[in-house]
Amino acid sequence: MPEHQPIRADGSVTFLPHRLNRQPVVVRGLTADELWICCGLSGAIGLLVGLPLAWLLSTIALIPTLIVLGIVAGIFVGGGMLRRQKRGRPDTWLYRQLQWAISTRYPLLAGWVGADGLIARTGLWTVRRCAA
C-alpha cells in the first residue's frame, strides 16, 4: 500500500472516498430505489386508469398498454421533477422529506418508516447569549 494512506493496526485503511456509499444514478438522475418507487407509482396509476377504460371499451389490451405508458411517462416526468427537487441537496434529502411528510400526515405510520427518530420541533431557536 502507498505510504501516504494512514493504516490502522488491523490493516484497514482509515480513508474511504466520499462517494463510496452513494447509490449510483441509473436513469434521468434517479437512483435505483427512486426508480423503483417511480415505476411502481406510475404503473399503479396506469393500472387505475386502464381498468375502467378496458371495461368501457371491452378490450383487455388497454390495461398493460396503459401500465407501460404510465411507467414511461412516470420515468420521464417524475425523473425530471425529482432531479430538479434534489439538485444541490444532500443524498438523503428525499428520504428524510418522505419520512417527515409521512410522520406529520400519518403519525401511526411514523414508526414503520423510521420517522419516529426525526426531530420535529417547531418554535424559535435561541443561542442564549447575553451582552455583558
Place of cell 425523473: 79
pLDDT digits (tens, 9 = 90+) for 20-44: 666 777 888 788 888 898 899 999 9
Mean pLDDT (whole number) for 3-14: 66
- Judge contact between 14 and 6, C-beta under 8 A: yes
Q: Report which of 2, 122, 26 is spatially closest to residue 79, judged by C-alpha positions.
A: 26
pLDDT digits (tens, 9 = 90+) for 80-123: 888 888 888 887 888 888 888 888 888 787 778 777 777 767 77
Q: Report which of 103, 38, 105, 27 is spatially closest to residue 70, judged by C-alpha positions.
A: 38
108 compared with 47, residue with greater pLDDT: 47
